[in-house]
Structure 1
Amino acid sequence: MADAELEQIRKARLEQLKAQGGGAGSPGAGSQGGNQAEQKQQQEAEARQSILNQILHPEAADRLGRIRLVKEERAADVENRLIMLARTGQLRQKVTEAQLKELLSAVAENKEEEKIVVSRRKNWDDEDDDDLLDL
């Protein structure tokens, strides 16, 4: 039942995109190529979302959505890893929120975060500077 609703939403969105593309007037050759690229990108995004909907529990999908709001790159890394696991047949059941947390921590460990190191000079307050202030 949810698949039928999802398919209806996709069809409605596709019709909406077609209407927007057709209402812009006669597109030139350059914009037509851009439109095809946009359609291909949209189809890839829909395929990714479809796979994720099949392999994630709703709670895990919700958490991944919240992560996307904060760190889109990390969410994309996790999605790519989940899709790879699904395609290779390593997922035997839907991914729960707890499993998603484990995967997030594994991705975080593999990623080397950029660190800012502050090195302070030692003995910056030595006695020689005091002479300058007593003028």
Structure 2
Amino acid sequence: MADADLEEIRRARLQQLRQQGGGGGGGGTGAGGEGSEQEGQRQREAEQRSSILAQILTPDAADRLGRIRLVKESRATDVENRLIMLARTGQLRAKVTEEQLKELLGAVAEQQEKEQEKIVVNRRKGGGWDDDDLDDLLAEV
């Protein structure tokens, strides 16, 4: 009976590894299909994004955004996300020019700076100094 339990545990663990993409040793049909399906989904999303951006950006603005991507990919992605959101909500009436893209870049940079300016103070509980400790220290001198 212990052998049957061990075999069941092994099968469950192997199935878990296959689902996580580890694959295991024995020809898993599910793991390979899921990986290519996810890759295909990512590729379709990237094509949709580039199609939308091609429709809403002038060639100069698209070129600038490409150069920004080379320097700082996260900022370019933030700008693209904002542009796509504006396009989907119907807030863009014409193609975005290079000057408008510069303004949007400034807004994104300003927002990121505000997020970085946040200061977090962690106070230690117990074992720290307080006013009584300072008075005790001065009394000893």
In 2, Cα distance between equivalents of 1:104 and 1:89: 20
The aligned residue for residue 32 of structure 1 is 33
In 1, Cα distance between equivalents of 2:28 and 2:98: 45
In 2, Cα distance between equivalents of 1:48 and 1:36: 18
Structure of greater Rg: 2
The aligned residue for residue 53 of structure 1 is 54
Q: Aligned-pair distance for 1:28?
A: 3.4
Q: Aligned-pair distance for 1:79?
A: 0.2
1:14-25 correspondence runs (5 A): none
In 2, Cα distance between equivalents of 1:82 and 1:60: 12
In 1, Cα distance between equivalents of 2:67 and 2:76: 9
What is the TM-score with the length of structure 2 in the denominator? 0.60
The aligned residue for residue 94 of structure 1 is 95
What is the TM-score with the length of structure 1 in the denominator? 0.63
Count of residue pairs brought into register by the alignment: 90
1:1-135 correspondence runs (5 A): 28-112=29-113
The residue type paired with residue 80 of structure 1 is N
Q: Aligned-pair distance for 1:114?
A: 5.2
Q: Aligned-pair distance for 1:27?
A: 8.3
Q: Aligned-pair distance for 1:29?
A: 2.2
In 1, Cα distance between equivalents of 2:48 and 2:60: 20
Which runs of 5 or more residues in structure 1 are unaligned? Answer: 1-25, 116-135
Aligned pair in 2 of structure 1 residues 27, 40: CA closer, same or farther (>3 Å)? farther
Which runs of 5 or more residues in structure 2 are unaligned? Answer: 1-26, 118-141
Q: What SS does the aligned partner of 1:93 have?
A: coil
In 2, Cα distance between equivalents of 1:64 and 1:27: 42
